[in-house]
Chains A and B, each alone.
Chain A
């Protein structure tokens, strides 16, 4: 009898039940979309922040920074320490190798540019394609680390060993254009492009790594490696570890080692690069953390606001629609139904409607989240299973909270008064 009454109401009152279901769909889809976006936003923004370039640099432990400090050239006892080119691909084999997005080696040198004099040259991987021992395809190179460069002409490619790119200051001072030929140490190179970096690199010449290794007679050597890695913003543990990893307890060490803190990634890089010292570029690493934390916090607050909003809207509508049925329920009471029977009837009806609306709303919400992900970041947002549970619990509590005041109100009424229409 109970179930028959419920099915009857659901069918008879389909207009009203549809209204409740509709609001539930809207509310649930809103919360689902926002929660998924909120949980995914950190990762997405982190990837966007990679446009700032490398957040870790690796150098030889003795070369350190003295080279760029005094502008001393190699061969004077400062810059004669190098890293080995064959170590570079090992970067992808560290524990957090998956978080290492891009990297490029740099070999600094000087060469005699005919008609000008000594100029700084930098050898790098403009692009690099390789297949790792794990079978993974690797595409990286400096091009992904210099997104802010303005190029007239073209980027160097992987095998452009007879071509160069020139910084715009050096090019304009000497009236060199893309397409010209220049002579470096007696060898002719084609100028493939002019780049505008807006920094020190504007006075340098960029070449492929093998070309500079040949010019400077340093086969297999690199001066530094720039690494761009996805990292977790630092906390107290990370700061403590950055000072000295040995000061950590074994448990702390494990947590630290297995979290993508920039200091942990640096530590692991040093384990694979012989004689290398990996240092976070604080300008990028630290600021990333700031932006990331702020964005996530902002999204959390917006999510909370919209979830509270939809929760109140649902519970509000349920209260309204139950109160509205006072005549029908009053009649049931007059016919001898117990209070708990009426309460159960109302609750089950509402819950069933809520369940249907909730399921539909969840999928709609995932759709919204993906629209946001595609439009803003051009990639799919990962669906967090946790959201199903959170939304389900909230929806249950909200429907309950919406029904209870209405039910209490109905029970307090006298059937005669209700039926009389007061």
Chain B
């Protein structure tokens, strides 16, 4: 009974000492909390960025365009069902863009050209590097198409101009013009049931520096209607967020589950992305480590300076009969409290910082790593406690009278 009251009053005294010591030295405490909070901000901010960099930068590398080309196996074409299966297999959240292409030879002014029918909105996501004079075509206004720079030059057409494409409908054979018919009759035959003809206008001119400059890009459904066929794609270009290993695993999954398809990773992009992304990740890791080590040391020294200054106070307590264990306990309590407040403050400031960086650099929000809260707080409690113990131990070893005398 007596023992319990003693214990109770001891605990009360302990709490009173810890809290009053904190309140009395308000200005110094602000400094200490500030030091810890700065450290915790840097820790949680940089670690959050480090964790999110591969995902975020990986998406940036998608600006290099499609990294997975899916071809049909054999002479078959890719139907819409197969396309949906493919989308399901890759997973919608990993797909940046997925554009089916159908290539069709048409005649313009009796010269052969190739129309590429595609999902224009997806193609735009796939190929952000295309330079479009005018604007991207869309699925609403299907008679407005985009033409490659080369074609625009050859045909001498500009944005807003129109041209007529002609060709043979799907499954029909082209009949040669017959010598015994007049030109008028031949033209009529060309417009007959087995042929098509349509007036298209130029919405945009495509410049890429590659083979795309020799194509006309139109909506795939419009092209299917025009040639009188259902959806059949020659190739599907996919831009998938994945590194080389993930992509090759994905390729073998596609081969296994959809036998009609033949996936091919674009080595040039996947290999190069792995190299460059690896370097950038190593850079951020190294920077994070250097910054963290330096920050930790500087928080530690600040804390040490603050505790060392209390030598006289500690010595006085000892002279008054306090046990070493009690004094240590008091300092540890203070350290834990400071570490907790500073660490908690820093976690959220750090997240706020990382969020701002991510929004500024990548234009996307960052995922909050919940595990960082306990980790950051634990790290800073450890640092403050360590910083308190070492200088205090030195004081403990010395005789109080010597310290009090000021030597």
The 0/1 profile, CB within 8 Å of B marked 1, for residues 280-295 of chain A is: 1111111100110011
The answer to the question of B347 belonging to the interface, with a C-beta cut-off of 8 Å to chain A, is no
Residues from chain B with a CB closer than 8 A to the CB of A70 are: 112
What size tier do the contact residues of chain A reach?
A: 35 or more
Give the docked Cα–Cα distance between A373 and B123 (Å).
38
A23 partner, pick from B128, B210, B272, B302, beta carbons under 8 A: B302
| A263–chain B nearest beta-carbon distance, Å | 11
Residues from chain B with a CB closer than 8 A to the CB of A285 are: 129, 209
The answer to the question of B388 belonging to the interface, with a C-beta cut-off of 8 Å to chain A, is no
| A41–chain B nearest beta-carbon distance, Å | 7
Contact A282 B31 (CB under 8 A): no
Q: A30-B290, A51-B272 are in contact. Are A65 and B213 (CB under 8 A)?
A: yes
Give the docked Cα–Cα distance between A282 and B212 (Å).
11
Give the docked Cα–Cα distance between A70 and B63 (Å).
27
Contact B28 A323 (CB under 8 A): yes
Complex: chain B residue closest to A421, CB-CB = B312
| A243–chain B nearest beta-carbon distance, Å | 9
Contact A45 B357 (CB under 8 A): no
CB under 8 Å from chain A, chain B span 322-357 = 353, 356-357
The answer to the question of A27 belonging to the interface, with a C-beta cut-off of 8 Å to chain B, is yes
The answer to the question of B299 belonging to the interface, with a C-beta cut-off of 8 Å to chain A, is yes
Give the docked Cα–Cα distance between A295 and B214 (Å).
34
Q: A283-B65, A290-B63 are in contact. Are A30 and B294 (CB under 8 A)?
A: yes
Give the docked Cα–Cα distance between A198 and B82 (Å).
23
Residues from chain B with a CB closer than 8 A to the CB of A376 are: 279, 282-283, 286
| A141–chain B nearest beta-carbon distance, Å | 17
The 0/1 profile, CB within 8 Å of A marked 1, for residues 31-61 of chain B is: 1001100110110011001000100010011
| B372–chain A nearest beta-carbon distance, Å | 16
CB under 8 Å from chain B, chain A span 278-331 = 279-287, 290-291, 294-295, 297-299, 301-302, 305-306, 309-310, 312-314, 316-317, 319-321, 323-324
The answer to the question of A386 belonging to the interface, with a C-beta cut-off of 8 Å to chain B, is no
Q: A294-B60, A312-B34, A375-B286 are in contact. Are A69 and B211 (CB under 8 A)?
A: yes
Residues from chain A with a CB closer than 8 A to the CB of B34 are: 312, 316
Contact A148 B268 (CB under 8 A): yes
Residues from chain A with a CB closer than 8 A to the CB of B272 are: 51-53, 147-148
Contact A197 B27 (CB under 8 A): no
Residues from chain A with a CB closer than 8 A to the CB of B401 are: none
Contact A29 B271 (CB under 8 A): no
Contact B49 A302 (CB under 8 A): yes
Contact A45 B276 (CB under 8 A): yes
Complex: chain A residue closest to B66, CB-CB = A283
Residues from chain A with a CB closer than 8 A to the CB of B282 are: 375-376
A52 partner, pick from B28, B31, B64, beta carbons under 8 A: B64
The answer to the question of B365 belonging to the interface, with a C-beta cut-off of 8 Å to chain A, is no
Q: A51-B276, A282-B129 are in contact. Are A68 and B64 (CB under 8 A)?
A: no
The 0/1 profile, CB within 8 Å of A marked 1, for residues 8-29 of chain B is: 0000000000000000000110
The answer to the question of B135 belonging to the interface, with a C-beta cut-off of 8 Å to chain A, is no
CB under 8 Å from chain A, chain B span 179-218 = 207-211, 213-215
Residues from chain A with a CB closer than 8 A to the CB of B245 are: none
Give the docked Cα–Cα distance between A371 and B293 (Å).
14
Residues from chain B with a CB closer than 8 A to the CB of A65 are: 150, 210-211, 213-214
Give the docked Cα–Cα distance between A372 and B27 (Å).
38
Complex: chain A residue closest to B61, CB-CB = A291
Interface of B is mostly: helix
A197 partner, pick from B211, B268, B276, beta carbons under 8 A: B268
Give the docked Cα–Cα distance between A78 and B356 (Å).
54
Contact A23 B213 (CB under 8 A): no
Residues from chain A with a CB closer than 8 A to the CB of B209 are: 57, 279-283, 285
| B49–chain A nearest beta-carbon distance, Å | 7
Give the docked Cα–Cα distance between A295 and B31 (Å).
34
Contact A198 B267 (CB under 8 A): yes
| A275–chain B nearest beta-carbon distance, Å | 17
Identify which of A22, A199, A282, A310 gathers the most chain B CB atoms within 10 Å of its CB: A282
The answer to the question of A222 belonging to the interface, with a C-beta cut-off of 8 Å to chain B, is no
Complex: chain B residue closest to A37, CB-CB = B287
Residues from chain B with a CB closer than 8 A to the CB of A16 are: 305
Q: A41-B283, A313-B38 are in contact. Are A282 and B207 (CB under 8 A)?
A: yes
The answer to the question of B130 belonging to the interface, with a C-beta cut-off of 8 Å to chain A, is yes
CB under 8 Å from chain B, chain A span 336-395 = 368, 371-372, 375-377
Give the docked Cα–Cα distance between A412 and B380 (Å).
34
Contact A291 B60 (CB under 8 A): yes
Contact B360 A301 (CB under 8 A): yes
| A183–chain B nearest beta-carbon distance, Å | 29
State the A residues within 8 Å of B (CB). Answer: 16, 19, 22-23, 26-27, 29-30, 33-34, 37, 41, 45, 48-49, 51-53, 57, 64-66, 68-70, 147-150, 196-199, 279-287, 290-291, 294-295, 297-299, 301-302, 305-306, 309-310, 312-314, 316-317, 319-321, 323-324, 368, 371-372, 375-377, 409
Q: A30-B295, A52-B272, A310-B295 given; name 4 further pairs at CB < 8 Å.
A: A65-B150, A148-B271, A198-B270, A294-B362
A-B interface, 3 closest residue pairs, ranked by CB to CB distance from nearest: A198-B267, A69-B214, A148-B271
